[in-house]
Amino acid sequence: MKCPLCDYDSTIFLLEADAREYRSCEKCYLVFVPSKFFISRKREIERYLEHNNTLTNEGYVMMFQKKINTIKKICSGVNTVLDYGCGYEPVLKFLLEREGYKTHGYDLNFFPNEELDEKYDLIISTETFEHIKNPRQDLASLTPNILSKGYLAIMTRFYPLRDDALCLESFTDWYYKRDPTHIAFYGQKTFLWIANEFKMEICYNNDFDFIIFQKKS
């Protein structure tokens, strides 16, 4: 079975849990759920709407504000931003605009008609990459839309490690994998592969849930 990130043919079975299967790629180190276990689009959207991802959720807003503060420290010369996977209420887009950034929002399910042919100083994607069915395709379409020396910021929970490799024991009990809409999981070596493949450098990594790449040219 091919890896949805690097197209490597020989992915390996990892475990069966949560009424589905998990596989691992030995080339890019992505852990993923095979497509036959994907839930329907209708159920997926219903699941997203269960989340209180709104401006009235103080914890949610605070989480984004911390990420914006990191962006301000790490990413220089940012004026234009794309919030990729902005959700049904684009909270991050609003907060970025409040900080003075010219921001567009795109979401496959809730704002699918937004233009994606502009170029941006920063593309930020929060709580989205774990849902993406074909991350290689998304990255291949996004990275050309980042301006020279621009940035790609991804927020997703990194899978647990032991001795620089996936810790299967911790992964088996990991709450984050139980969400039926979470189908792709990334580790430190996965991000290194992404940086090399798409000609970027890692300029920030909190080793938990947030990483920032800078385009080389």
Residue 133 lies in a domain: yes
Confidence of residue 41 (pLDDT cuts 50, 70, 90): very high
In a domain, 167, yes or no: yes
What's 98's domain CATH number? 3.40.50.150
3-class state of residue 150 by DSSP: strand
The tokens for 83 are 């919030």
Contact call for residues 209 and 155 (beta carbons, < 8 A): yes
Q: pLDDT digits over 8-28, tens only?
A: 998 999 999 999 999 999 999
Q: Is residue 7 part of a domain?
A: no
pLDDT band for 212, please (50, 70, 90 cuts).
very high
Average pLDDT value over all residues in the chain:
96
User: With 80 as the cut, is the pLDDT of residue 123 above it?
Assistant: yes
Q: 38: which DSSP letter?
A: P
Cα angle: 207, vertex 148, 29; to 5 degrees: 35
Q: Does residue 41 sit within a domain? A: yes
- Asked if residue 162 belongs to a domain, the reply is yes
**Within a domain: 6:** no
Q: Range of 38's domain?
A: 12-215
Order of all β-strands in the sheet with 102-106: 102-106, 80-84, 120-126, 146-155, 210-215, 200-205
**Calpha distance 163→177 (Å, rounded):** 21
Stretch 59-84: mean pLDDT: 97
Tell me if 3 is assigned to some domain. Answer: no
The closest of 29, 40, 13 to 133, measured between CA atoms, is 40
Task: Give the whole-number percent of the chain exceeding pLDDT 70.
Answer: 100
CA distances from 34 to 65, 84, 95 (A): 34, 23, 35
Task: Reply yes or no on whether the pLDDT at 100 is more than 90.
Answer: yes
| pLDDT of the residue at 113 | 82
Looking at this protein, which amino acid is placed at residue 145?
Answer: N
Q: State which amino acid sits at residue 201.
A: E
Helix 58-74, helix 91-98: angle, nearest 10: 50
Q: How far apart are CA 157 and CA 188, in angstroms?
A: 11
pLDDT over 90 (residue 217): no
Supply the pLDDT for residue 140. Answer: 97
How many domains does the structure of the chain reveal? 1
**80, part of any domain:** yes
